[in-house]
Amino acid sequence: MSITYPRGFRAGGVSAGLRRNGSPDLGLIVNDGPVRATAGVLTSNRVFAAPVAWCRPVLEAGTAHAVVVNSACANACTGPEGLADSRAEAELVGGLMGCAPEQVLVASTGVIGQRLDMVKITEGIHTAHAALGTGGVVDEATARAIMTTDTVPKTIETQVAGARFGGIAKGAGMLAPQLATMLVFITTDAVATHEELQAALAPAADVTFSRVDSDACMSTNDTVIVLASGASGVALSPEEMRAGLTEVCSGLARQLVADAEGSHHDVLVTVTGATTEKAAVAVAREVSRSNLVKTAIAGNDPNWGRILSSVGCVPVEVAPFDPDQVDVSLNGIVICRGGRIGEDRDLVDMTPREVRIDIDLHAGDATGHIWTNDLTHEYVEENSAYTS
Amino acid sequence: MSITYPRGFRAGGVSAGLRRNGSPDLGLIVNDGPVRATAGVLTSNRVFAAPVAWCRPVLEAGTAHAVVVNSACANACTGPEGLADSRAEAELVGGLMGCAPEQVLVASTGVIGQRLDMVKITEGIHTAHAALGTGGVVDEATARAIMTTDTVPKTIETQVAGARFGGIAKGAGMLAPQLATMLVFITTDAVATHEELQAALAPAADVTFSRVDSDACMSTNDTVIVLASGASGVALSPEEMRAGLTEVCSGLARQLVADAEGSHHDVLVTVTGATTEKAAVAVAREVSRSNLVKTAIAGNDPNWGRILSSVGCVPVEVAPFDPDQVDVSLNGIVICRGGRIGEDRDLVDMTPREVRIDIDLHAGDATGHIWTNDLTHEYVEENSAYTS
């Protein structure tokens, strides 16, 4: 169970023949209401794909009835023709669902710079529509239909104050060879307006998906969508709605990190003692983007010099602190104290998959974190393999 | 010939026993005048090593007589004790040369978070002082004394209007396991003041060393120093001085890129059609820091989607342009035109070591470039190997 765990939703995932191996590659999620409220967060990459361009006004209206999504082709860098393809998908789904094309969200993931095979897409949408249902099997097929190089489907479900939430996700940052994109689809049967959903989703995404920085690459297709059906009859408080969405986003984000391509370690970089949360996140992000830190972790090397050096690359106007006051802990061992050698590095156990880097700037009370991965041979292998 | 090609300089490189393999690891460069003008550029990392802290006021005074440099240990993250060690080196060299400690520059490169072995350093300085001389053998030993994981020494010499210039360098960004640092030492026998040298060095470094971005990691020890002896009696115009230093810096920067650890490709990212040079360099730097672009190049994959996607990550306030106007060429083939598919990617020959990425933003007349490298298995291997 996941996206049809909340009442008022049907879903379907089918193989439209877009992926060569015959795996599911086209999904349809339908909101049967009675409420049909939508919110979303889209990539901030200035080079964004056609489906992202299509979704912007649909999400602003905030009343989508359905989402259609495909893998294998990102429909990115495809010009006006690509946008026409996204519109054609919305028109077809709208026709089948009895709603306007402008009430259908479209998402794609896969190879950049390639047109969609609209013959297969059209057939796939009809098949998916015929297969619409609820329950574990349907949810699994839909979660699989959005996978590219993911090794496992990512799903979640939870309850807050009698309202149900479900979600599926694929990807982690932009990890695969031309197979871009993090896609996340969340459903809830809470009663909510577009504005209430958006107000809860934005901060939820900000402290979860926006703090996953697997390889610092932002995709052309990143899309997070939440649909509310109102079928539970339960209206949540703003705090409850935010709590529910944050729990779903947090759980899916953690699954994305755990399945990041070629990774051997999930790395949680936590910065404390910062002047502001923004400063803390900036320092954590700088560390999480250092290839020297990431390769050291791949080698199970508790190399605090590289961590401290990357901390020092953050400009003082972004994060004020005194480098001579900085402590760095690795998996609980304070190997750097006051900017200098701390406890014996041999005490650090680097074998667990989850690695915790804790940096105390001793400059304030704010904290922030980033999840990242190590940089391994497998990452290079998977991302340097010839396209096609 | 290199640093003693300009008249008025002596140098020495010896093995002080700091490196386990017995290679040269301590160098001394002496300016015999009659002029003794100095200028320098130091790392902007807020976590900077003791020798960098020592050099700051010495470079501000601008009248150094000598430089002492060691490899194997960076003397970084070593606190007040580390600074005392750098001072002790300067005092010893000053005593031998008959100048104040404040007229001696100190540089170190190697492992972070480890104290210098001052017994070996002291002995090495005496040996290097006794070995001071001029000519190819001496220069070669000095160039080798600053190497860490460099596979070849980097040297250059040139002439401008009768004044001679020479230089040696090590490293490329921060590439080796805890072996940080780019170190560059340049000599000239032109007649010049500290102010004239600094005015010429800063822009020269800005368009050369500052445009090498091998792995986006900034070291704690980066140091570029130029010494002028005035022994030629030739006073250069500001333009001539800048031309001479730019030629030396450019040549050494190119050698650093060519020897970057584990690299198979030297990649020149050139951005044209930008509104400003700063915007052009920002776009080039974003592309050069994309691990997805760098791994694609390692795999000889002309993956323009990743290039365009990284271009799109530059904020509009940094570089205004229309993504739908952007052209991308790879080794001369326009594989992306107007943000969409251009010529056949199979036409791109990715086999040469030097790869040229040309990006035309069609937004203005400014250009800028960054040199980088591909991201290979060997990079991961060399940087994930256990320290010790």
Q: Contact A384/B291, CB-based, under 8 Å? A: no
Say if strands A183-188 and A223-228 run parallel, antiparallel, or are unpaired: parallel
Give the pLDDT mean for B284-304. 92
Task: Say which of A48, A316, A385 has its CB closest to residue B299.
Answer: A385
| Any B CB within 8 A of A312 CB | yes
Length of chain B equals 388
Q: How confident is the model at residue B266 (pLDDT cuts 50, 70, 90)?
A: very high
Dist CA B182 CA B69 (whole Å): 12
The answer to whether the Cα torsion of A38, A44, A46, A48 is positive or negative is negative
Q: How confident is the model at residue B173 (pLDDT cuts 50, 70, 90)?
A: low
**Residue A173: its pLDDT value, please?**
53
A181 is in an annotated binding site: yes
Dist CA A321 CA B18 (whole Å): 34
Task: Say which of A291, A299, A338 has its CB closest to residue B385.
Answer: A299
* For testing contact with chain B, the best of A42, A214, A220, A292 (most B CBs within 10 A): A292
Q: How confident is the model at residue B3 (pLDDT cuts 50, 70, 90)?
A: very high
Could you give the ipTM of this predicted complex? Answer: 0.88
**Residue B191: its pLDDT value, please?**
98
Classify B9-255 by CATH class.
alpha beta
Question: Do the beta carbons of residue B286 and residue B374 sit within 8 Å?
Answer: no
Closest CA to A253 of A164, A160, A156, A180: A156
Give the pLDDT mean for B111-131. 95
Q: How confident is the model at residue A172 (pLDDT cuts 50, 70, 90)?
A: low
Q: How confident is the model at residue B171 (pLDDT cuts 50, 70, 90)?
A: confident
Selecting among B181, B188, B272, B376, the annotated active-site residue is B181
Q: Is the pLDDT of residue B180 over 80?
A: no
Give the architecture (CATH level 2) of A266-384.
Answer: Roll (3.10)
| Any B CB within 8 A of A180 CB | yes
Q: Contact B380/A377, CB-based, under 8 Å? A: yes
Closest CA to B70 of B31, B35, B105: B105
Task: Say which of B46, B112, B312 has its CB closest to residue A305.
Answer: B112
Question: Do the beta carbons of residue B376 and residue A380 sit within 8 Å?
Answer: yes
Q: How confident is the model at residue B149 (pLDDT cuts 50, 70, 90)?
A: confident
Q: Contact A339/B387, CB-based, under 8 Å? A: no
B170 is in an annotated binding site: yes
Task: Say which of A46, A114, A387 has its CB closest to residue B323.
Answer: A46
Say if strands B9-14 and A327-330 run parallel, antiparallel, or are unpaired: unpaired
What are the strands, taking DSSP E only, across chain A? 9-14, 26-31, 37-42, 66-70, 104-108, 154-160, 163-170, 183-188, 223-228, 266-274, 327-330, 333-337, 340-341, 354-360, 366-373
Least confident of A203-217, A227-241, B46-60, B352-366: A203-217
Percent of chain A with pLDDT over 90: 82
Question: Do the beta carbons of residue A48 and residue A176 sit within 8 Å?
Answer: no
> Which CATH superfamily groups domain A9-258?
L-amino peptidase D-ALA esterase/amidase (3.60.70.12)
* Stronger pLDDT, B171 or A343, i.e. the higher one: A343
**Residue A112: its pLDDT value, please?**
86
* For testing contact with chain A, the best of B109, B218, B261, B291 (most A CBs within 10 A): B291
Q: Is the pLDDT of residue B154 over 90?
A: yes
Q: Is the pLDDT of residue B213 over 60?
A: yes
Query: Exposed (0-12), middle (13-18) or buried (19+): which is A338, by Cβ within 10 Å?
Result: middle
Q: Is the pLDDT of residue B228 over 60?
A: yes
Q: What is the DSSP string of A146-204?
A: T-SS-SS-EEEEEEETTEEEEEEEE-SSS-SSS----EEEEEE-SB--HHHHHHHHHHH
Strand order across the beta sheet in which B163-170 lies: B37-42, B223-228, B183-188, B163-170, B154-160
Q: What are the structural domain ranges in chain B?
A: 9-255, 266-384
Q: Is the pLDDT of residue A225 over 50?
A: yes
Retrieve residue A23's tokens.
């795996």
Least confident of A205-214, A343-352, B27-36, B338-347: A205-214
Q: Contact B312/A45, CB-based, under 8 Å? A: yes
* Stronger pLDDT, A149 or A57, i.e. the higher one: A57
Q: Is the pLDDT of residue B174 over 60?
A: no
A170 is in an annotated binding site: yes
Q: Which amino acid is at B359?
A: I
* Stronger pLDDT, A380 or B60, i.e. the higher one: B60
**Surface of A (58-117) touching B: CB under 8 A:** 76-79, 111-114
**Residue B216: its pLDDT value, please?**
60
Nearest chain A CA: its distance from B106 CA (Å): 20
Nearest chain A CA: its distance from B5 CA (Å): 36
The position carrying tokens 């999840």 is A371
What are the pLDDT digits (tens) for A16-61?
999 988 999 999 999 999 999 999 999 888 999 999 999 999 999 9
**Average pLDDT of the residues of chain B:** 93
A9-258 and A266-384 agree in CATH topology: no
Dist CA A263 CA A258 (whole Å): 8
**Residue A178: its pLDDT value, please?**
45
Chain B residues with CB inside 8 Å of A312's CB?
A: 45-48, 218, 220
What are the pLDDT digits (tens) for A302-338?
999 889 999 999 999 999 999 999 999 999 999 999 9
Nearest chain B CA: its distance from A242 CA (Å): 28
Closest CA to B76 of A224, A88, A341, A274: A341
Closest residue of A to B176, CA-based?
A292
| Any B CB within 8 A of A148 CB | no
**Residue B7: its pLDDT value, please?**
98
Q: Is the pLDDT of residue A344 over 80?
A: yes
* B372 tagged catalytic: no
Phi first, then psi, for residue B264 (nearest 5°) are -110, -20
A286 is in an annotated binding site: no
What are the pLDDT digits (tens) for A266-301?
999 999 999 999 999 999 999 998 988 999 999 999
Q: Contact B76/A339, CB-based, under 8 Å? A: no
* Residues β-bridged to residue A111: A73
DSSP state of B69: E
A148 is in an annotated binding site: yes
* Residues β-bridged to residue B154: B169
Q: Contact B312/A47, CB-based, under 8 Å? A: yes
**Could you tell me the CA-to-CA distances from B349 to A355, B326, B356 in Å, in that order?**
41, 21, 11
What are the pLDDT digits (tens) for A64-102?
999 999 999 999 999 999 999 999 999 999 999 999 999
**Surface of A (155-174) touching B: CB under 8 A:** 174
**Residue A82: its pLDDT value, please?**
97
Task: Say which of B292, B298, B387 has its CB closest to residue A215.
Answer: B292
For residue B334, the tally of other CB atoms under 10 A from its CB is: 16
Give the pLDDT mean for B73-86. 95
| Any B CB within 8 A of A181 CB | no
- The torsion angle over the Cα atoms of residues A187, A63, A38 and A197, rounded to 10 degrees, is -120
Say if strands B183-188 and B340-341 run parallel, antiparallel, or are unpaired: unpaired
Dist CA A287 CA B181 (whole Å): 18
Chain B residues with CB inside 8 Å of A381's CB?
A: 377
**Surface of B (225-284) touching A: CB under 8 A:** none
**Residue A175: its pLDDT value, please?**
46
Q: Is the pLDDT of residue A216 over 70?
A: no
The answer to whether the Cα torsion of B301, B305, B307, B310 is positive or negative is negative
